[in-house]
């Protein structure tokens, strides 16, 4: 397996420059993973398949879905891509490399775990700030146009928010100066996580059913359903920041009421 990865990576660094891989390669990888993982949830909603796992009964209109996709493409090409290009010198200065040898899986996994923890911490506070009255009205309300989120709405946001909260995603890699393959894996996992959190479905195989600290779709969907002053559930990936600072009390009470209702329904049968 290692030799296959090494061979593939050798091909990339032989045929493309470091700049091409770090900027254009990263952008292409992001777009591919984002749309390939997010588009299926649009089709599920339109077809009405797996509705038993849908968190909300309300569906988005076709016009609303198409508006989301159109603006996403605009934001990605006009905001995300320029940011990737402009941040390249910073990452190079901090030690990012694309040369062989590739880092060990131990190094990669340790760095990515650190990125998830740091990103979640920074995102939590940044997200809470965006829910203050002025910033919500003028910036964050764009993201909350979709009270019934679907996968692609995860990156539907005001350009200022894209830059503001995007800082949480790139901070870890900027600090550690990772190998490019680590940065790519981190980006893939972060995209898959945020798409899943906004997908609008809670499946039996959802990670939140197996990882107690992981938030997932049910946790974040609650955030989108409520008014900005009462939403809570501000974390991006995990649940412990909201638990520590008491911003998940409404969600926990709702879960407790649902659990009691299910128990009573079971007893009545």
The per-residue pLDDT for range 42-75, each reduced to its tens digit, is 999 999 999 999 999 999 999 999 999 999 999 9
Q: pTM value?
A: 0.95
Give the tens place of pLDDT for each residue, 85-113. 999 999 999 999 999 999 999 999 999 99
Supply the pLDDT for residue 171.
96
When pLDDT is averaged across residues 154-179 and rounded to a whole number, the result is 96
* Averaged pLDDT score across all residues of the chain: 94
- Would the pLDDT of 264 be above 90? no
267 pLDDT tier (thresholds 50, 70, 90): low
- pLDDT at 269 exceeding the cut of 70: no
Does pLDDT of 6 surpass 90? Answer: yes
pLDDT at 242 over 90: yes
123-127, Cβ contacts within 8 angstroms, sequence gap of 24 or more: 123/165, 123/168, 123/234, 123/235, 123/236, 123/237, 124/234, 124/235, 124/236, 124/241, 124/242, 124/245, 126/164, 126/165, 126/167, 126/168, 127/165, 127/234, 127/235, 127/236
Cα-trace Rg, the chain? 20
In whole angstroms, what is the distance from residue 53 CA to residue 260 CA?
20
């Amino acid at each position: 397996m290692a030799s296959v990865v090494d061979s593939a990576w050798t091909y990339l660094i032989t045929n493309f420059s470091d700049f091409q891989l770090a900027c254009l390669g990263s952008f292409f990888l992001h777009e591919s993973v984002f749309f390939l993982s997010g588009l299926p949830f649009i089709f599920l909603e339109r077809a009405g398949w797996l509705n038993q796992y849908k968190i909300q009964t309300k569906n988005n209109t076709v016009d609303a879905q198409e508006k989301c996709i159109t603006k996403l493409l605009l934001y990605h090409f006009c905001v995300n891509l320029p940011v990737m290009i402009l941040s390249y010198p910073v990452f190079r200065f901090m030690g990012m490399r694309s040369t062989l040898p590739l880092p060990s899986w131990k190094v990669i996994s340790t760095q990515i775990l650190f990125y998830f923890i740091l990103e979640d911490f920074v995102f939590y506070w940044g997200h809470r700030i965006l829910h203050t009255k002025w910033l919500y009205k003028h910036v964050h309300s764009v993201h909350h146009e979709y009270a019934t989120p679907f996968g692609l709405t995860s990156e539907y946001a005001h350009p200022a928010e894209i830059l503001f909260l995007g800082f949480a995603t790139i901070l870890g890699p900027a600090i550690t100066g990772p190998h490019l393959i680590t940065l790519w894996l981190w980006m893939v996992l972060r995209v898959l996580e945020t798409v899943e959190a906004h997908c609008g479905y809670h499946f039996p195989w959802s990670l939140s059913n197996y990882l107690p600290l992981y938030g997932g779709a049910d946790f974040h969907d609650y955030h989108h359903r409520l008014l900005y002053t009462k939403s809570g559930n501000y974390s991006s990936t995990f649940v412990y920041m909201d638990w520590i600072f008491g911003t998940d009390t409404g969600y926990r009470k709702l879960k407790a009421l649902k659990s009691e209702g299910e128990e009573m329904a079971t007893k009545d049968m």
